[in-house]
Amino acid sequence: MKIKITADSTCDLSKELIEKYNIRTIPLHIINAEDKDFRDGVDICPKDIFEYVDTTGNICHTAALNIEELESVFKEELAENDAVIHISISSDFSACYQNACIAAEVGNVYVVDSRNLSTGGGLIVLAAAEMAQAGMEPAEIKAKLDEKTSKVEASFVIDTLKYLHKGGRCSAVVALGANVLSLKPCIEVKDGKMGVGKKYRGSFDKSIKNYVKDRLVGRDDIDYSRVFITNCLCSDETIASVRALVEELGQFEEILETDAGCTVSNHCGPNCLGILFLRK
């Protein structure tokens, strides 16, 4: 059976991974304050968002994929494939999942709620592709993916609360306090929802090193098959130091470095980084 894996662009997979696993990603909409509509990763990139915020003081927002465009993609893929498995951003973050479920009524489309964002969802997308390559049936793949979503560990450390504050996700008092105390919050995804975890104090690089240690040291529940190091405009030196630390503290078979797309970047701002992996 020929199965096509599709996902919305929030999975933040690199071009190389998309090509390697023959995945089709569908760009979300990024809307600025003037109601101009851009396609994530096609018409706009994180750097464009940050320049817009710095220039205008306004924030962009994301809009879900609509039913019609999802239907169009599913029909295109079904013309050449026996089935489609589509992975969406968490249903708690966006209407993408609900819209995909409606669009899936075209037939032979199996929709999976990743319960995650960024490469947390990317881990589910790659697992789907590997299962399809192994010859599994689509219903079985969906069932296994639904089980796997609860095992994703996704988090990011952010350098500034400016973007969360502008987006209405934290108060001005909290943002000011974090800046005064040089706090770098860890944003975690749990049960499909985003929340604030541990707050690190000090420089971004110091905070990142402590964060990686907290995530990897003294645990026996990590699935060491794959880990993503996903960042937004971090320096090469920072990324290299994180990779070295991950290699030292973990036993991952595959370490993948990717850039955060517009959805994560629009909320977390520049200079954010996370390590994302599965638990056993």
Please report where in the chains the tokens 């996704």 appear, as a residue. 154
Q: What confidence score (pLDDT) does residue 197 get?
A: 84
Q: What confidence score (pLDDT) does residue 170 get?
A: 43
Please report where in the chains the tokens 């905070």 appear, as a residue. 207
Q: Which of 68, 107, 70 is nearest to 87 (CA)?
A: 70
Q: What confidence score (pLDDT) does residue 185 get?
A: 87
- The contacts of residue 232 (CB under 8 Å, 6+ apart) are 46, 259, 260, 264, 265, 268, 269, 270, 271, 272, 273
pLDDT along the chain (280 residues), means of 10: 97 98 97 96 96 92 96 98 98 96 98 97 98 98 98 94 58 40 83 87 94 97 98 97 98 97 89 97
Q: pTM for the full model?
A: 0.94
Q: Which domains does the chain have, with CATH numbers?
A: 3-32+62-149 (3.40.50.10170), 152-279 (3.30.1180.10)
